[in-house]
A and B are shown apart, each in its own frame.
Chain A
Amino acid sequence: MEIGLNHYLILSTILFAIGLIGVMRRKNLLMLFFATEILLNSVNISFAAISHYYGDLTGQMFAFFVIAIAASEVAVGLGLLIVWHKRHNNIDLEQMSTMRG
């Protein structure tokens, strides 16, 4: 059976939904970062698929830059996480409520 663009897009959507579930559900900050990675990757799949089916290289370029950005984001995010952990000795989301309005 012919794999069309729609298949890839549906797959990407499912993965995105899983990522959303992770973002909403996780209370440990590190696990939250994992879920963010899932989101980014699902989008990458969709970019690459569109690029393939329309014969345009723009999609791959964008996916490439997303990977680069994600890498640096992880670096900075983990650094902040470590500082927080040093100060509060836990990374539970429920207890990070200093921004209470």
Chain B
Amino acid sequence: MEKYLYIALFAPLVSSLFSALFVATPKKLFTGIVASSLIFIAWVASFILLIDVLSTKEAIHVEMMTWIATGDLYIPFGFIVDQVSVTMMMVVLTVSTVVHVYAIGYMDHDEGFNRFFSYLSAFVFSMMILVMSDNFAGLFIGWEGVGLCSWLLIGFWIKKESATWAANEAFIMNRIADLGMLIGIFLVYWNTGTLQYEEAFAAMPGLDHATLTWMGIFLFIGAMGKSAQFPLHTWLADAMEGPTPVSALIHAATMVTAGVYLVIRSNELYTLIPDVGLFIASLGTFVAMFAASMALVNRDIKRVIAYSTLSQLGYMFAAAGLGAYWVALFHLMAHAFFKALLFLGAGNVMHAMDSELDPFKMGGLGKVMKGSMIMMTLASVALAGLFPLAGFFSKDVILEAAFAEHHFIIYTVLLLTAGLTAFYSFRIIALIFHGEERYKLFGFHPHEAYKFMLVAMSPLLLLAVIAGAFRTTFFSMVEEILSATEYHIHSHVTFWVMTFGTQIFVVLAMVYAYKKYMSRDIKFPDGTSEMENSFKYKLLINQYYIPYFYENFFVKPYRELSRVFWKEIDQKVVDATVDGIAKVVYTTGDKTRVMQSGNLSTMLKWMIAGIVILLSLAVVFGLAARHSGGALVLPGLGV
């Protein structure tokens, strides 16, 4: 069984290195094919591991080699495949395989084709390390690795300045959060003496509450950066500058879920500190509503989908914070499938519309792009949480959990957000695929994507539809290690009212969206309509002016500070000091060169001056030796 673990772990690395060989050469098709095949092999290996874990209910734990063994600190390169990590592995590898195949078609005309696959596979490898590692240090290695690959991939088109800026923003924000995570990891080591999950979590019940609270808070700060919770959320929307396969893989299904994975993995810690858990849940709920509100008016289809991701991440954190870890994991899994599908469909649309992002310039594309329309519509239905698609089984349980734990505010907000989710998802669908064909006014000639790309997307479609059926299997699998609580509402009546009520609410939102945006007289907004100039519209479309705030209150002063440090301190003080030292040496040499005049008489005078100095030293030391009574030893003088 261990060999399957190693195959699943290292096949992406091999794929990345193989593609890296061809970085400098123009596009070679077999690079993409080999990369995708290797990821598929990893998928097969992890599927075998899944079957194994399901049947034996035991985890597979290997220690590959020792990394650090100094004093009391022992950190190995160890990997564990238990129920939680095998779920994550399957999610990551499924979406990765689909994205790799899709990217063969999407990046067809790009000259950085080989480089793209190298980066993409490197990302998969880092993510594998993250989810399969059995200690915090390995987790951190994977954490940083995915951050790096995300930076490489967002800024993939290096000549585009907005892309490189977005890549830097993502990386820097992640870094800020990583500081918190590092402090959390240090606290874990300091208090428990080990970084291995099993041992650290076993030692935790013995620690005092304040320490555990700080640990939980700091680890969550790390999760906040990676999963783009408020206030470190601006990078996710800007990360849409990268190619669409990247958005599908990284910013929908895998990297942003790393934060949720961390909280789920540390569930033994968070069950001990329910106050922090409540804070996490509240923050998640807030983010869910916050992101959904911004998605209502946005005119960039990828951004809307990104906000939707942000919103769903809020749902996952809400679930995890309330203690329903298995629900969070299940929602993570289902979300990955339909969100990736949404992104890939949007990629098809963009490809057809020559990378145009404004849905108001599209319309009626359903006639030309039937396959993409069906996929995106079904994915949106799943996202909205309609029975019997996957979203229903995960989202509804979160609502039930909130209600059952008597957190009614959280419940209400999440319910409202569900409605908003349905609204904005279908707004986009309606604007793109239905209604009048506005694109003809702008001179676009859309066509459907390659057949093989649609075929590649179909597994995701299938999973988005049927994933709900796996809930009971999933539950029985993870109840071994996650606190498995079935959420029972006390009375059956309340339960059915809730469920039906939610469904009706969602359906109403969908219909409203369709009606509003499918009608023939939608006007292209050009900045003059009354809606556009209203305050709430402006607030939402500028993302509550938060990026503006960050730019003016953090970035600008920091840049000014850096400039001061550079020009005033580094150049004027540090450089001047170093140069000054050199100058002192130089001028000393220059001035004392006069001594070497070649004039014997002068040299003799210098010689006698030297003799005088030596004699004075002798007098001084002799007197000192005499009066100190033997503390100095000067055999030359006979004292």
Contacts and interface: CB of A to CB of B under 8 A. Distances in A.
B608 interface: yes
Contact of A100 (B598, B601, B604, B608): B598
B597 A93 contact: no
B596 A101 contact: yes
A93 B599 contact: yes
A99 interface: yes
Contacts of A99: 596, 598
A100 B596 contact: yes
Nearest to B604: A23
A23 B608 CA distance: 9
Nearest to B601: A93
A61 B60 CA distance: 94
Contacts of B598: 96-101
A94 B601 contact: yes
Nearest to A21: B608
Nearest to A29: B600
Contacts of A93: 599-601
B600 to A, nearest CB: 5
Contacts of A20: 608
A27 B593 CA distance: 22
Contacts of B597: 97, 100-101
A43 B340 CA distance: 102
Interface in B579-605: 593, 595-601, 604-605
B250 to A, nearest CB: 69
Contacts of B600: 29, 32, 93, 96
A24 interface: yes
Contacts of A96: 598-600
Bin chain B's interface residue count. Answer: 10 to 19
A34 B596 CA distance: 25
B593 to A, nearest CB: 6
Nearest to A95: B599
A98 B600 CA distance: 10
Nearest to A99: B598
B601 A27 contact: yes
Nearest to A98: B598
A69 B8 CA distance: 91
A101 B601 contact: no
Interface string A11-42: 00000000010011011010010000000000
A53 to B, nearest CB: 16
Interface string A55-66: 000000000000
Contacts of A101: 593, 595-598
A98 B604 CA distance: 16
Contacts of A94: 599, 601
A27 B600 CA distance: 9
A69 B599 CA distance: 26
Contacts of B599: 93-94, 96-97
Nearest to B593: A101
Nearest to B599: A97
A99 B598 CA distance: 5
Nearest to B592: A101
B134 to A, nearest CB: 70
Nearest to B603: A99
Interface in A54-101: 93-94, 96-101
Interface in B591-639: 593, 595-601, 604-605, 608
Contacts of A23: 604, 608
A46 to B, nearest CB: 15
A2 B597 CA distance: 49
A42 B621 CA distance: 25
B599 to A, nearest CB: 5
Contacts of B604: 23-24, 32
Interface in B137-185: none
A24 B596 contact: no
Nearest to A20: B608
B271 to A, nearest CB: 82
A89 B371 CA distance: 111
A80 to B, nearest CB: 13
Nearest to A100: B598
Contacts of A100: 596-598
Interface string B554-594: 00000000000000000000000000000000000000010
A89 to B, nearest CB: 18
Given A93-B601, A94-B599, A96-B600, A24 B593 contact: no
A100 B605 CA distance: 16
B378 to A, nearest CB: 91
Nearest to B595: A101
Contacts of A98: 598
Contacts of B608: 20, 23-24
Interface string B503-514: 000000000000
B595 to A, nearest CB: 8
Contacts of A24: 601, 604-605, 608
B602 to A, nearest CB: 9
Contacts of A32: 600, 604
Contacts of B593: 101
A66 to B, nearest CB: 18
* Most-contacted residue by chain A among B600, B605, B608 (CB, 10 A): B600
Nearest to B611: A20
A2 B598 CA distance: 49
20 contacts: A23-B604, A23-B608, A24-B604, A24-B605, A24-B608, A32-B600, A32-B604, A93-B600, A93-B601, A94-B599, A96-B599, A96-B600, A97-B598, A97-B599, A98-B598, A99-B596, A100-B596, A101-B593, A101-B596, A101-B597
Interface of B: 593, 595-601, 604-605, 608
Interface of A: 20, 23-24, 26-27, 29, 32, 93-94, 96-101
Given A32-B604, A96-B599, A96-B600, 15 more contacts: A23-B608, A24-B604, A24-B605, A94-B599, A97-B597, A97-B598, A99-B596, A99-B598, A100-B597, A100-B598, A101-B593, A101-B595, A101-B596, A101-B597, A101-B598
Which 10 A-B pairs have CB atoms at the shortest separation, nearest pair first? A101-B596, A97-B598, A100-B598, A99-B598, A93-B601, A93-B600, A24-B605, A23-B604, A97-B599, A20-B608
